[in-house]
Amino acid sequence: MQEPRELADIAQALLNAKEVTVVSHVVPDGDCIGTSIALALGLKSKGLQVQVVNGDPVPEMYAYLKGSEEILLPSSVQRVSDVVVLVDCTDLERAGSFLEGMLSKVPTMINIDHHVSNTYFGRLNYVQPSAAAAGEMVYALLRKMAVEITPEIATALYTALVTDTGSFQYENTTSETFQLAAELVDRGADLEEIRYNLWERKPLISLLLLREVFPTLSLAYDGRVAWMTLDKRTFDTLEANSEHCEGFINYPRAIDGVEVAMFFRETAPGEIKVGLRSKKKVDVNLLAAQFGGGGHRRAAGCVVQGTMEEAVNRLVAAAGAMIQDQAVK
């Protein structure tokens, strides 16, 4: 991947700083958690004071990462630094409403992201949609800053890569992604710890939730659109959290003949969070954008106001229209 000109400016800005606050998005995933931790560890090795803040707690499945225990919730933060780095966020709103207010007047906002829908909200913007994960970009930044890639940093970055590429199965995976993965293994990434925590520690609640969700599986448009739904009552009854729904969308996506898969979860009365995936033709980033969301060509999301039935009807119709449009072309 060709080095962008912004990389040197960001590296210098961070090296000149004394304090840095690292922030990522709400409902954190492996890329944003692993990337935030790797960046924080790298900056600390250069003598900087660093705090990492996230609008939601770290999912238990990522607690194995060194530094995850130091990630703060907004309620614990008295002030943010004059230099703030947002990673894996398309816009400032992705940090959550509480943090958005705290960050709105930060003098130096650094935006590091790989989503095509990024709004370039930072004073310094390092946005590369061709990157498989934000972890790829932070690795390049750390090397630019002459940071030693320790086993702890390598483990965090490998976690970012493997989760955002679907274990190197998604089309965002490139030869450079594999090269970086090999480099991180050479640098001491703990593959056994990663494997155990990501794929061999499924909480029982996840399976109980899945048992409730599977009967909602539905298809439309000759089997080319598939979706599942989860209502808030079921979610709350099982005392679940967002982590327990991880990967649910892959079940409808895996069905033979399905082009667009969706997972609808009621997060509050009248508010539906929608995950979107596609296989070959439909750009779900454009689909999500119709409803105020965004993401990547093959993975995106949005939040829809209304009942579950209204959300399903609107999204399924929009997906069907895009599929039919592709068929015409």
Is 86 in the same domain as 140?
Answer: yes
In 3D, which of 178, 93, 99 has the Cα closest to residue 133?
178
Range of the domain at 42: 6-199
Question: What letter does residue 72 receive in the DSSP assignment?
Answer: B
Is 301 in the same domain as 239?
Answer: yes
Task: Provide the CATH number for the domain around residue 210.
Answer: 3.10.310.30
Q: Which residues pair with 23 in a beta bridge?
A: 53, 86
Cα separation, 312 vs 39, whole angstroms: 39
Is 244 within a domain? yes
Is 257 in the same domain as 234?
Answer: yes
User: What is the maximal distance between C-alpha atoms in the chain?
Assistant: 59
Q: How far is CA 37 from the centre of its chain?
A: 14
The tokens for 182 are 């090999």
Cβ atoms 140, 1 nearer than 8 A: yes
Between helix 134-144 and helix 175-186 the angle, nearest 10°, is 60
* pTM recorded for the entire structure: 0.89
Is 181 in the same domain as 221?
Answer: no
What sections of the chain are H helices per DSSP?
Answer: 6-16, 30-45, 97-103, 134-144, 151-164, 175-186, 191-199, 204-213, 232-237, 250-253, 284-289, 308-328
Q: What is the pLDDT along the chain (329 residues), one digit of tens a residue?
A: 567 788 999 999 999 999 999 999 998 999 999 999 999 999 999 999 999 999 999 999 999 999 999 999 999 998 899 999 999 999 999 998 888 888 888 999 999 999 988 999 999 999 999 999 999 999 999 999 999 999 999 999 999 999 999 999 888 899 999 999 999 999 999 999 999 999 999 999 999 999 999 999 999 999 999 999 999 999 999 999 999 998 999 999 999 999 999 999 999 999 999 999 999 889 999 999 999 998 888 999 999 999 999 999 999 999 999 998 876 45
76, HSE (Cβ side, Cα atoms, 13 Å): 11
Length of the chain: 329
N-to-C CA span, the chain: 32
Is 48 in the same domain as 186?
Answer: yes
Is 234 in the same domain as 195?
Answer: no
Is 180 in the same domain as 45?
Answer: yes
Is 152 in the same domain as 280?
Answer: no
| pLDDT at residue 321 in the model | 95
| pLDDT at residue 104 in the model | 81
Is 102 within a domain? yes
Q: 156, 176, 199 — which closes off a domain?
A: 199
Beta strand pairing call for 218-220 and 124-127: unpaired
Is 131 within a domain? yes
Cβ atoms 86, 104 nearer than 8 A: no
Conformational region of residue 222, where left means phi above 0, alpha means psi within -120 to 50, and beta covers everything else: left
Task: Provide the CATH number for the domain around residue 159.
Answer: 3.90.1640.10
Is 158 within a domain? yes
Cα separation, 166 vs 169, whole angstroms: 5
| pLDDT at residue 328 in the model | 43
Total domains present in the chain:
2
Cα separation, 315 vs 217, whole angstroms: 15
Is 150 in the same domain as 233?
Answer: no
Is 193 in the same domain as 118?
Answer: yes
Is 117 within a domain? yes
Q: 154, 172, 199 — which closes off a domain?
A: 199
Cα separation, 196 vs 192, whole angstroms: 6
Cα separation, 52 vs 38, whole angstroms: 11
Is 1 within a domain? no
Cα separation, 85 vs 21, whole angstroms: 6
| pLDDT at residue 99 in the model | 84
What is the identity of the amino acid at 301?
G
Is 165 in the same domain as 212?
Answer: no
Per DSSP, the residues of 193-230 read HHHHHHHS---HHHHHHHHHHGGG-EEETTTTEEEEEE
Cα separation, 295 vs 277, whole angstroms: 10
| pLDDT at residue 1 in the model | 53
Is 188 in the same domain as 212?
Answer: no
